[in-house]
Amino acid sequence: MNHVETLATVLFALAVIHTFMASRFEHLAHHSKAHGGLWHLLGEIEAVFGIWACVLIVFMLPLLGGGQTLSYLQGLNFTEPMFVFAVMVIAATKPILQLATLGVRGLAGVLPLQRSLAIVVVAISVVPLMGSLITEPAAMTLAALILRDALYSQGASTRLKYATLGVLFVNVSIGGTLTSYAAPPVLMVAGTWGWDSAFMLHTFGWKAALAVLVNTALLTLFFRRELLGLKVVTQEIRRVPYAVMLIHVFFLAGVVVCGHYPVAFIPLLLLFLGFADAYKQFQDRLLLREGLMVALFLAGLVILGGLQRWWLQPLLADMDERLLFFGAVGLTAITDNAALTYLGSLVEGVSEGFKYALVAGAVAGGGLTVIANAPNPAGFALLKNYFDDDAISPLGLLLAALVPTCVAVSAFLLL
């Protein structure tokens, strides 16, 4: 297995490099007639880890044999990719979006801010904090869809688009820490370490909420003039009956409650698809392709990440608490933060300080790259078409997320 682990690490590194080259491939796709389709596939960040996971499996078959390869795949947990797919498809529907928009407009109406600015403020602060109740994937989907209509489709500058994306990704990553079930990196350790929602709110939640508000305030102050110039989305949003909205809420809530059990939430998703097909007049196009691409991304990350334990776990175990905190922030940029906390939970005899440093660092760094936090690909898929060449630059995202990440780091480290 040692050779396979080494190979998996090499392929994982190549996949990370590939993500930083995706915008280049998209550029080639727009200027190549002969092989545009291939360049477009390579430029799809959501497909990157799926592609390299397939390469790994191709090599594993002759190295380990079909039996051992299947045994490895069967031993992996693909609940998170399936859950994110189900949540994304339901949360991105017209009835859910209209209900969320009603709530956002209602809250924006009571804020002492200009209307367009207030909608953006609520979308990047309140909605990410709602992720602690409705889960981070649902919050990311809803926030991205609201921002798409209120900001990204309004001709905002590239700087504002990247800055908003960086704040959104960081705020969603830390905004799910008010409870013990909503954020994937918390979910991986809560049962093992006995962390309940009261503990999360007392230890992490209030710090995260403060960081979310500071990040939002900094963004709005820096881009205040441009944000005030945005148009308010005024189209009628009450065309969907409230009864249909409530049925959609029921399905979304059911998937969230059953989020640990695919045997329960997959049938709910199938029933929902049947209901949506029966009442097509109340639906826009379901985001099935986008949801499947995000699921492919996360599934590839699970396959490749499952063989990184040999170097990640000893690395974490050898760090002191301060180094672990910053190490987790940095490692999260190149690996999924849920995988990082899971591997840390396997280290025996660790202190409470070790546990705090690992999780705080993992969620604080969750906005640095698209692979850092499981919901990020959902936001990426919904907003990428509003950037040049229909692609988001990983370097642009990294730079945009640095300031909000520093705010999150300061909140968890100093408060």
pLDDT category at 257 given cuts 50, 70, 90 is confident
Mean pLDDT, range 23-45, rounded to an integer:
76
**Which residues, other chains included, contact 209 with Cβ-Cβ below 8 Å and sequence gap of 6+?**
129, 175, 178
Question: From the DSSP assignment, how many helices (H) and strands (E) are in the chain?
Answer: 22, 0
- Say what the pLDDT of residue 164 is: 96
* pLDDT in the model for residue 306: 82
pLDDT in tens, 293-326: 878 888 888 898 888 888 877 887 788 899 999 9
- Is residue 366's pLDDT more than 90? yes
The pLDDT value given to residue 413: 94
pLDDT score for 113: 86
- What's the first-to-final CA gap in the chain, in angstroms? 44
Per-residue model confidence (pLDDT) at position 221: 93
Mean pLDDT of 223-228: 90
* pLDDT tops 90 at residue 199: yes
Q: How far apart are CA 111 and CA 132, in angstroms?
A: 22
Whether the pLDDT of residue 128 is over 60: the answer is yes
Reduced to 3 states (helix: H, G, I; strand: E, B; else coil), residue 87 is helix
Residue 236 pLDDT class (50, 70, 90 cuts): low
Place of tokens 């809250």: 107
- Residue 135's pLDDT is 82
Give the count of alpha carbons within 13 A of 55, CB side only: 16
Among 206, 208, 210, 205, smallest CA distance to 180 is for: 205
> How large is the angle between the packed helices 242-257 and 262-278, nearest 10 degrees?
160
